[in-house]
A and B are shown apart, each in its own frame.
Chain A
Amino acid sequence: MDFDEFTQTGLRPLLQFTRALTGDRGLAEDVVQEVLIRLHARGDRISDIDHLGAYARRMAVNEYLSWGRKWFRQRPTPVLPEPPPQSDHAERHAEHDWLRTELAGLPRRQRAVLVLRYYAGLTDAEIADELDCSAGTVRSHASRALATLRVEITRLQELPT
């Protein structure tokens, strides 16, 4: 697959993955554009890469994880959402909003593990390979991230309605 073929078939999935990874549309576009430039800089050699989509995804993850060292400030989590309404549909909607907020507050590596596991459908071993760490470390990140989300769920339920 050459660069043009990749942009025709692989760019949208990469954009979608990176959007889920970053939780931010603008940042996702910046990350993807960085990946595209790097891929293009490889010229004809990208046709030698097996599974170019996975390769690009890995580049996006690395770019996202290193983004905090760039010209972008880090700031604690955004606005606290309102307590959820009572109806089932509205409650579910509020829970999802809450989840988005809590996901945004996770350390990047923990979020990356969750996205690779629950969005990209990778196994812990595959995630470990992607993040260049052990499967145990992946499980540790996932466990801590899920625990954080559960803690916040408890807090959500304790809020007055």
Chain B
Amino acid sequence: MITESDLRAVLTDEARDVSEPAEILARLHVAERQPTAKRRWLAPLAAAAAVAAAVVVAGTLVVDHRAGHSDQPASTRPSALGRDLWFTPYVHPIEGYDVTAISMDNSAVGIGVRYPGHTDSEAGSVTAYAPGIWDPALAKGSERLTVQGRPAYYGVMNQGGYMLPTLAWQSGSGGWIVIRGWDDSAARSRHLDPRKEELRVAAKVDDTAAERLHLPFRIGYLPAGLQFQMVSAHLTKPAGETQIMFSPTGTTHYDRTGTLSDRTLPPGVVSIILLPNSQPGQFTVRNTKVDGHAADFEDAGDGQRVLAVDVGVGSLTLQGPYSKAELIKIFRSITLAPDVDDPATWFDATK
């Protein structure tokens, strides 16, 4: 029998599992803050995955690095159903790293770079910002060098309050490509020089081509009035979680350091998450069925409702301010790729 003392013991035990306060403070560049400035941020290495992004630039060469060259023009704005999702830049294979994940919205594209084997946290990230988002004044006082024939800056720069080794250069579109990371214990234990590693990664960044995004599902129906908001997906096997979001505006807001300045969900946002069975975190509450699939339907508060469905190869979770019937209608319109763990089998989101 579980007692109150068990509850106290569990909570106390959880409370012991914390980072050193000095580590938390080290990540905050408090001294630079303006007393009245209100800032928000994402964890630095999660930022690439959660924030990322650069708009696809019209007029760039369109290349599919898996299927060969394409004659389709790049789209300037993804459509509501996840079609026409191209991204720039492409990061070619880097020796000693895996290029594993992408996250994009209408203002930026972020690509995650990991140590091989996916056992460590993200080593760093490449983020391409649309013009006018990342402020080059952040590079003031940094070392000047050249990347791909363009003026670049290397130094420890602010991202949403974190000071990170950063390499930045201006792309042909006028936006900035920013590489950050190599600042964690994994990098230190490998005796990696952030400057050297970021320059190695920069040499593999190709911002002249638009790349096709592939997703493990296709969506056939969404309520009217929604636009693409953001997507995060994996590029390698096993794929992990894929999430795509739509909202009435499709807009995101960044501060000058390239950090989402407001993470509050816009009203009416719809989120669709596919979590393959190879990943932990499958839902366990099963209070309904959808077309014979075990499912969970819950009111998440603030008008949001969540429908999680066990689709055999994993779980599909749909969240939005809609009725159960409407969420089921979206669910029924979704087609899964042959292998949700293998991006090589996924749908081309540009078609």
Chain A positions near chain B (C-beta within 8 angstroms): 3, 7, 11-12, 15-17, 19-20, 23, 25-26, 28-30, 32-34, 36-38, 40-43, 68-80, 92, 95-96, 98-100, 103, 105, 107, 114-115, 118-119, 149-150, 153
Contact = CB atoms under 8 A, between A and B. Distances in A.
Contacts of A76: 283-285, 296, 298, 306, 308, 317
Interface of B: 1-2, 4, 6-19, 21, 24-25, 27-28, 30, 33, 35-43, 46, 50, 161, 243, 260, 263-265, 271, 273, 280-285, 296, 298, 300-302, 304, 306, 308, 317, 319
Given A16-B18, A115-B11, A153-B1, A75 B6 contact: no
Contacts of B17: 19, 25
A59 to B, nearest CB: 14
Contacts of A78: 280-282, 284
Contacts of B15: 16-17, 19-20, 119
B161 A15 contact: no
B281 A114 contact: no
Residues of B contacting A: mostly: mixed
Contacts of B38: 37-38, 41
A119 B11 contact: yes
A114 B7 contact: yes
A36 B50 CA distance: 22
Given A68-B300, A118-B7, A41 B284 contact: no
Contacts of A103: 10-11
A54 to B, nearest CB: 17
A123 to B, nearest CB: 15
B80 to A, nearest CB: 19
Contacts of B271: 73
A74 B33 contact: no
Contacts of A69: 264-265, 302
Nearest to A108: B301
B262 to A, nearest CB: 9
A96 B1 CA distance: 11
A137 B275 CA distance: 36
A71 B302 CA distance: 14
A42 B15 CA distance: 27
Contacts of B9: 96
A77 B319 contact: no
Nearest to A109: B301
A83 to B, nearest CB: 14
B73 to A, nearest CB: 31
Given A41-B36, A77-B283, A153-B1, A36 B30 contact: yes
Contacts of B12: 20, 119
Choose among A75, A77, A96, A150 the residue with the greatest number of B CB atoms under 10 Å from its CB: A75
A15 B19 contact: yes
A113 to B, nearest CB: 12
B25 A37 contact: no
Nearest to A13: B15
A20 B301 CA distance: 22
B297 to A, nearest CB: 10
Contacts of B13: 96
A103 B260 CA distance: 30
